[in-house]
Amino acid sequence: MARRPVLLLLLPALLVLTACVDLSPSFSTYVGSTVTTDPNAIASPTPFAPSTDTPASAPALTPTVPAQSQTGELIPTTLPRPDAENIRPHYILEATLDYAAHRLSVDEVITYQNLTGQSLTGLVLAVEPNLWKNCFTLGGLMVYGEMVNDFRLIDDRLEVPLAAALAPGDGVNVLLHFDLSLPPANPYHVFGYNDLQTNLVDWYPFIVPYSNGWVLHPPANVGEHLVYDVADFDVTLHLADLASPATFAAGAPAEAANGTWHYHLSQARAFVFSASPAYRTVSTSVSGIPVIGYYYESEKVQALAALDEVAKALATFSTLFGPYPYPSLSMVESPYFDGMEYDGLFFLSRDYYLSSDGTVLNNLTDIAVHETAHQWWFGLVGNDQAMEPWLDEALATYSERLFYELNHPAVTAWQSFRVDTFSPSGWVDTDIYHGVNFRTYANAVYLRGALFLQSLRERMGSPAFFAFLKDYATQMSGKRSTPVDFFRILRQHTSVELSDVISIYFQNSY
């Protein structure tokens, strides 16, 4: 029987928690000023979105502070303190989904060890659902058995003061209960529900990385803004109404029994899942790794074709970059307008299924390959997606080229299809706040990024280039890479002069 997560038990109506109270000056100073989010921000897709810019009519998000929640006291089960044997953050999540009502009720336990090298007087958590009006309600928050009332939640930033400073190497447990009233999803936001599915991405509060301060960037009009440390996840999902069954797609295989789905996912940036009563599945296996395609009934032919190419991509990238980092890979058809990657799961636009021409050089195949590459470049090797997005997007885009070279050598038009048709310009090291619009941003970061990597390969030679890619993935596995890391490891594999190549593509010197 699967081990059940720690439950947060609520006693009736004993406490009022206010979600936006003033903190002591010392804590507010320590965590830094609260960011101002862009209410019109959209997630960054892969660059086979339409060549036109995002429509101005894309629905806007309305940042909000959740309403006061009157709940009972949280009664924690005894929890061990984290120790050196398990230094990654650990998340226990027990969630009940009311699919028809679009609601999720969640108990969460976070075990966190202070590896910052500095004494911490508080924690900062990202709470992305709070960017949607009336979506997130916090029912209770405890730190080691003590109720915390003087937290501060503004937009997607939750600041939690600690009663006693957390010394380097020490650990803490944070317990929360929260409820989500899910918003309607749309082609520009994966999170929420639509007529076909319900998608839970970035759905729980998580402790953001610390690097000379807490790393939580505001959203922008392009690009992903969140930065993640790797963590371990123990997730249990329930359906509120078993008479209305739904199929779950997740970033790990499920242990399913009696209306309960239990998941373990280790060394991942995030745990996401999708649910739908209409999902059909196709599956295969690559070196013992299950690969599952979740699709809708009329798209079975396209789902099988995409599954075959994703399996090839997984095998190819495992050879080029190193072993696949997760226990399974799920590909989920979605009304989202492009592709979006997460650990062990990615979403792929239904438009790509419907418009597939049956060839291998099309959006369905190419973006599926791109998202598969993100399992290494984003998942295995992390980065600051807001400030240095090229570190995952350029590598994932160039990985498409490698896929076609090795699996479909007769297909020689990838460069024209993917890059040249857009006549890309711009600096590869553009951040999401200077991306201007999607097309400009994608041309610089994704497409010029792929051209840069090809130039590197030509300058240093393919053997040294491929040795670099594998070593880079190995050295930065489970970490957050920076441009300094990228070029440091690169120069370990070649002695040829690269400064002129770098200066063509980058505005900064490396």
Which residue type sits at 132? W
Domain shared by 316 and 258, yes or no: no
Range of the domain at 418: 301-510
Domain shared by 267 and 309, yes or no: no
Domain shared by 269 and 223, yes or no: yes
Which residue type sits at 56? A
What pLDDT does 46 receive? 52
Domain shared by 253 and 360, yes or no: no
Residue after which a domain boundary falls, among 221, 247, 278: 278
Structure tokens at 72: 């009972």
- Any domain includes 462: yes
Structure tokens at 331: 């590909």
- How far is residue 456's CA from residue 429's CA, in Å, rounded to a whole number? 16
Domain shared by 231 and 319, yes or no: no
What pLDDT does 1 receive? 40
Residue after which a domain boundary falls, among 224, 244, 278: 278
Domain shared by 439 and 491, yes or no: yes
What pLDDT does 359 receive? 95
What pLDDT does 262 receive? 98
Domain shared by 357 and 488, yes or no: yes
Domain shared by 262 and 400, yes or no: no
**Sequence-separated (6 or more) residues with CB below 8 Å from residue 463:** none
What pLDDT does 427 receive? 98
- Any domain includes 288: no
Domain shared by 436 and 501, yes or no: yes
Q: What's the pTM value of the predicted model, to 2 decimals?
A: 0.88
**Domain harbouring 343, CATH code:** 1.10.390.10
Smallest CA-to-CA distance from 2 within 234, 266, 265 is with 234
Structure tokens at 506: 């980058």
Residue after which a domain boundary falls, among 221, 245, 278: 278
- Any domain includes 285: no
Domain shared by 3 and 99, yes or no: yes
* 371-403: b (≥16 Cβ within 10 Å) or e: bbbbbbbbbbbbbbbbbbbbbbbbbbbbbbbbb
- Any domain includes 284: no
Smallest CA-to-CA distance from 473 within 378, 353, 381 is with 381
What pLDDT does 85 receive? 53
- How far is residue 9's CA from residue 17's CA, in Å, rounded to a whole number? 16
Domain shared by 264 and 306, yes or no: no
Q: Which residues of the chain fall short of a pLDDT of 70?
A: 1-86
Smallest CA-to-CA distance from 399 within 380, 385, 386, 384 is with 380
pLDDT tens, residue by residue, 394-410: 999 999 999 999 999 99
Domain shared by 180 and 259, yes or no: yes
Smallest CA-to-CA distance from 225 within 212, 211, 208 is with 208
- Any domain includes 43: yes
- Any domain includes 482: yes
In the chain, the number of structural domains is 2
